[in-house]
Structure 1
Amino acid sequence: MLVRYTTCTKEGYKMLPSYRVEYQVNGIPRLFEFYLFVNPLGRKSFYAEQELNLAVERIAAKVDVHILTFHNQKIVTEFMEHMKAPANDLQTRNQIYRTVYQASLAYKAASMQGKRKGRIFLMKMQQQIQSDFDLFTKEFILDLVADVGLDVDIFKEDYKSDFVRKLYLNDQKIAVDMQVEHTPSLVIFENNIDGFVLDGPITQQNILSQLDDVMEEYCLEHNTDHKPHLAILRKH
């Protein structure tokens, strides 16, 4: 059952501009877990994070969000193509890989002082760098740390720590285990279904639409009488 609340205007009926989505199966709210894999300096990843935040705000059920950095040689090659750099330019390739690695460590170190502040740090870094790696300097990082309200001394210590490097490597392993190949990529889990990679662009509408489809398919497959007992309530 899909219920969409609308409001009447002089122009006719239209979808309410503000609503929340509640997913229930047989009256039990569903729980979701989102893994968003991003490039810490990527503009597309910045927009994907914004869209994911909007989607999560719409979902009434509990949602755990994990934003992990990921990069490999394929992603570096895509950056080089965007920069119109020759694929065999090893100096540029190494610079990109090293810079993205350092940005990933910076995000992890910032997150040690709180997940929320870490995400603010990440989005400000992406917004200001805009794939211009020459802007990514030690001074830039420390200025951003202070701007976000982080303790600079603690950040410096965490940034150089083995623990933060281990957290970074663990994110890379999770990405490989989930068969992520590019950024941004969104993997969605629900406690009764297998994880799936979002198909298509990471937008608020696409996230909610695919959640609708997956949950309805789950109910059709697990009700012997073939009558879905799923309530997807679009409500103000």
Structure 2
Amino acid sequence: MLEVYLFVNPLGEQCVRDEQNVLRLANDSDKQIQFQFVPLLNINVIQKAMQRQGLRPTDWQAQNQQSQTLYRLILDYKAALFQGKKRGRNFLIAMQDALLQAGQTYSESLVQAVAQQCKIDLEMFMEDRNSDLAKQAFHADQRLASEMNISEASSAVVFDCDHYDYGVLLEHFTYNTLFDLVNGQLDPFHDLNQHTPSCANLDDTQLHVL
């Protein structure tokens, strides 16, 4: 069995495409795959989100607002996950559709409407999204990212549960690269200098052995 961790900016359009690629992979591959969408929040993620919106990186008020919106959205996602991985994943995707595709603004009413749409117990959800448990889950995700040396969203880490000697980090990956790696058609150690096993370039994709 394989485990795939996809580190995402919940408000990143590229991350939405990467999420779709991981979901597609789980359907297309003959291998058993478990996957998690892990939200990432750091200054790099915030500044890139501001850049996409045409905001100046020195606009501290906008930066703070962007940070707070991402943080609240991540806590919402963690609270939805408490009611099951599928519901949590559906909630994240539905919020991304509303915010990125429909152009809606993040608000309490939108969050509640999407939660109900995803058949989430609203009373439990509203309590969980403000809980210490949700905040602890957020901090656990950021520690995981740090342990895996993740600094940018749209990064995926693939582990083979039968061989935990190493994991493979993919940055700027395509569906085909991810598919080939998961299905054993791509050897991350191939042609790497054994003294410097850092990465191999495949088109724009970066592979790093962890």
The TM-score normalised by the length of structure 2 is 0.83
Q: Partners in 2 of 1:209 and 1:187 — Cα distance?
A: 14
Q: Spell out, residue by residue over 1:29-68, the C-alpha distance to the aligned partner (whole angstroms, 9 max, x if none).
A: xx21100111122221111111111111122222121111
Shift in alpha-carbon separation, 1:209–1:89, aligned structure 2, 3 A: same
Counterpart residue type for residue 98 of structure 1:
Q
**Could you tell me which residue of structure 1 aligns to residue 61 of structure 2?**
91
Match of 1:209 among 180, 184, 193: 180
Contact 1:200/1:206 (8 A) holds in 2: no
Shift in alpha-carbon separation, 1:216–1:174, aligned structure 2, 3 A: closer
Q: Partners in 1 of 2:91 and 2:62 — Cα distance?
A: 26
Shift in alpha-carbon separation, 1:138–1:58, aligned structure 2, 3 A: same
User: Could you say what secondary structure the match of 1:127 adopts?
Assistant: helix
Q: Partners in 2 of 1:196 and 1:76 — Cα distance?
A: 25
Contact 2:10/2:96 (8 A) holds in 1: yes
Q: Partners in 1 of 2:32 and 2:87 — Cα distance?
A: 21
Stretches of structure 1 that go unaligned for 5 or more consecutive residues are 1-30, 222-236
**Could you tell me which residue of structure 2 aligns to residue 47 of structure 1?**
17
Q: Spell out, residue by residue over 1:152-209, the C-alpha distance to the aligned partner (whole angstroms, 9 max, x if none).
A: 10100111110111011100110111111111111111132411111432x3312012
Counterpart residue type for residue 86 of structure 2:
R
1:174 equivalent to 2:147? Answer no
Shift in alpha-carbon separation, 1:82–1:152, aligned structure 2, 3 A: same
Stretches of structure 2 that go unaligned for 5 or more consecutive residues are 195-210
**Could you tell me which residue of structure 2 aligns to residue 81 of structure 1?**
51
Pairing of 1:125-164 with structure 2 (within 5 A): 125-130=95-100, 135-164=105-134
Q: Partners in 2 of 1:55 and 1:41 — Cα distance?
A: 22
Q: Partners in 1 of 2:72 and 2:83 — Cα distance?
A: 18
Match of 2:166 among 194, 198, 203: 194
Counterpart residue type for residue 95 of structure 2:
M
Contact 2:77/2:92 (8 A) holds in 1: yes
User: Could you say what secondary structure the match of 1:181 adopts?
Assistant: coil
Shift in alpha-carbon separation, 1:199–1:135, aligned structure 2, 3 A: closer
Counterpart residue type for residue 26 of structure 2:
V
Counterpart residue type for residue 194 of structure 1:
Y
1:118 equivalent to 2:91? Answer no
The TM-score normalised by the length of structure 1 is 0.74
Shift in alpha-carbon separation, 1:112–1:34, aligned structure 2, 3 A: same
Aligned length: 187
108-117 or 122-131, larger mean C-alpha shift? 122-131
Choose 1 or 2 for highest CA Rg: 1
Counterpart residue type for residue 107 of structure 1:
Y
Q: Partners in 2 of 1:206 and 1:156 — Cα distance?
A: 39
Q: Partners in 1 of 2:76 and 2:103 — Cα distance?
A: 14
Contact 1:55/1:205 (8 A) holds in 2: no
Q: Partners in 2 of 1:163 and 1:80 — Cα distance?
A: 29
Q: List structure 1 runs of 4+ shifted beyond 3 angstroms.
A: 131-134
Q: Partners in 1 of 2:170 and 2:35 — Cα distance?
A: 14
Overall identity of the aligned pairs, in %: 26
